[in-house]
Amino acid sequence: MTFIQSFPDVHFDFGAINELGRELDARGISKPIIITDNGLVKCGVLQQVLDALPSEQDYAVFSEIPENPTIQGVEKALKVFQSEDCDGIVGIGGGSVLDSGKALRVITHQSGSLLSFLDHSLEINKSVAPYITVPTTAGTGAEITFGGGIHPTENAIGMGLRSPYIKPDLAICDPELTFTLPSHLTAATGMDALGHCIEGYVSNVSNPPIEAITLDGINRVINYIKRAVADGSDREARYNMLMAGLEGGMAIYLGLGPIHALANTFGNSPLHHGTLVTVSTPAVLRFYEGVIDDKLNNIRSAMNLSEGDNLADTITDLNRIIGMPSSVREMGYDKDDVDVMTSETFNSHFNAWAPKKPTQEECHQLVIDTLG
Ligand SMILES: [Fe+2]
């Protein structure tokens, strides 16, 4: 049966950040903790947000969220939340910050260590801190999703945080805040959005309204990613990439698939998730040839291609143009145990939503193709 979930409220446009003060007031948040990372402090994005707040707005800032979200980062933010007597959370950043905020909203209100909630979604109840997200990358979809990943320690494999109760209350999507995103991250996060839209569209969950949204997201990435990568101040391109990222977040509500299974397998390294996603995409599209041809044709249309055009080659060519690698080996991945990679890909929970679940043998081929 189709279940159509609700998304968080969203303000979307240039200048949307000016809504933050009014929304804090409307939601009864008198002193939020604003969590972010050092990079966003340095490039002035945090200041852009603070400047948009009314002068009388009280707040505390915690800017030590690490590049990959960790338990330690969230626990440090909790100390500030408690010592500053905060009553809500604003997350400004990419997936790491926004996922950390989801964890923080749980442990501010529920007893137990953060570890006790990771991979134990049923332990999470509805008592959580109010949470507003402000994405500064365009692609993770974390601003509206109900899941996230937290690493127990910096180099450990991430654990899942997944519950309808951690879904943010509101996302404020202002393309102006994405202008300082460097071109390689614009490319990687943008292609992650494309991966979300493709995997959501072909997933075995039937949800026609969101499927239409995913095709729109695919079209926006294809039309605008090259411009956003070439010129970070291209307003039209930034607007459309941020919209594609949001639509990719909606796509995640349909589940993902083998592209993300592969990205997770190779994610036991410092390699960027979005880059791993786009490098994994061609092999999975080849795997789907002859299996879901009607859907692949609709993806071709969304990509402005003709029937019969090669989807995998199109992604490979696009990756080259926007400076993405063509294989995981080219990214510097140095692990050798293909059998372990195969079994991790095969056992990934992401395959639960695949229109055709790859066998062990097919996973072996996917791993070989993606490794390069
Ligand atoms: Fe992703």
State pLDDT tens for residues 252-295. 999 999 999 999 899 877 788 999 999 999 999 999 999 999 99
CA of residue 370 to ligand 1 center, whole Å: 16
CA of residue 21 to ligand 1 center, whole Å: 30
Lookup: tokens for 297: 């044709």
CA of residue 76 to ligand 1 center, whole Å: 26
CA of residue 309 to ligand 1 center, whole Å: 25
pLDDT score at 20 = 98
CA of residue 356 to ligand 1 center, whole Å: 19
CA of residue 25 to ligand 1 center, whole Å: 33
Classify burial at 100, counting beta carbons within 10 Å of its beta carbon; exposed 0-12, middle 13-18, buried 19 or more.
buried
pLDDT digits over 44-78, tens only?
A: 999 999 999 999 999 999 999 998 899 999 999 99
> Mean pLDDT, to the nearest integer, of 111-124?
93
367 phi and psi, to 5 degrees? -65, -45
CA of residue 264 to ligand 1 center, whole Å: 9
CA of residue 277 to ligand 1 center, whole Å: 7
What average pLDDT does the structure give for the chain? 95
pTM of the model: 0.96
pLDDT digits over 135-191, tens only?
A: 999 999 999 999 998 998 876 777 889 999 999 999 999 999 999 999 999 999 999
Domains and CATH numbers, the chain: 9-178 (3.40.50.1970), 183-371 (1.20.1090.10)
Classify burial at 6, counting beta carbons within 10 Å of its beta carbon; exposed 0-12, middle 13-18, buried 19 or more.
exposed
CA of residue 241 to ligand 1 center, whole Å: 15
CA of residue 290 to ligand 1 center, whole Å: 25
CA of residue 7 to ligand 1 center, whole Å: 18
Q: Which residues of 151-186 are buried (b: 16+ CB within 10 A; e: fewer)?
A: beeeeeebbebbbebbbbbbbbbbbbbbbbbeeebb
Contacts of 194 (CB under 8 A, 6+ apart): 217, 218, 221, 222, 225, 244, 248, 278, 281
pLDDT score at 87 = 98
Alpha-carbon distance values, 198 to 43, 239, 277, 321 (Å): 32, 20, 11, 20
CA of residue 262 to ligand 1 center, whole Å: 11
